[in-house]
Amino acid sequence: MKTVLCYGDSNTWGYNPLSPGSRHPHEKRWTTVLQRELGGSFLVIPEGQNGRTTVWDDPLEGHRNGAA
């Protein structure tokens, strides 16, 4: 079995902008769609965090630096 790690921000987490603070239903998130399309020979691991960035260091929320 192959593993796909989806390391990302609020899009990977499933953030729903129409209802702040909530997520899209599990079956609607792109990582779930990817898992379904790839099939059983792949394991998709969604590792999303709202506000994660790899562009710059956040002096107040350094834990969101995805490149650290």
| Structural domain spans, the chain | 2-64
Residues 20-54 pLDDT 10s: 889 999 999 999 999 999 999 999 999 999 888 87
Nearest by Cα to 45 from 35, 33, 58, 60: 35
pLDDT at position 28 is 97
pLDDT at position 68 is 67
Could you write out the DSSP letters of every residue in 5-63? Answer: EEEESHHHHTB-TTSTT-B--GGGSHHHHHHHHH-TTEEEEEEE-TT-BSSS--SS-GG
At 64 the three-state DSSP class reads helix
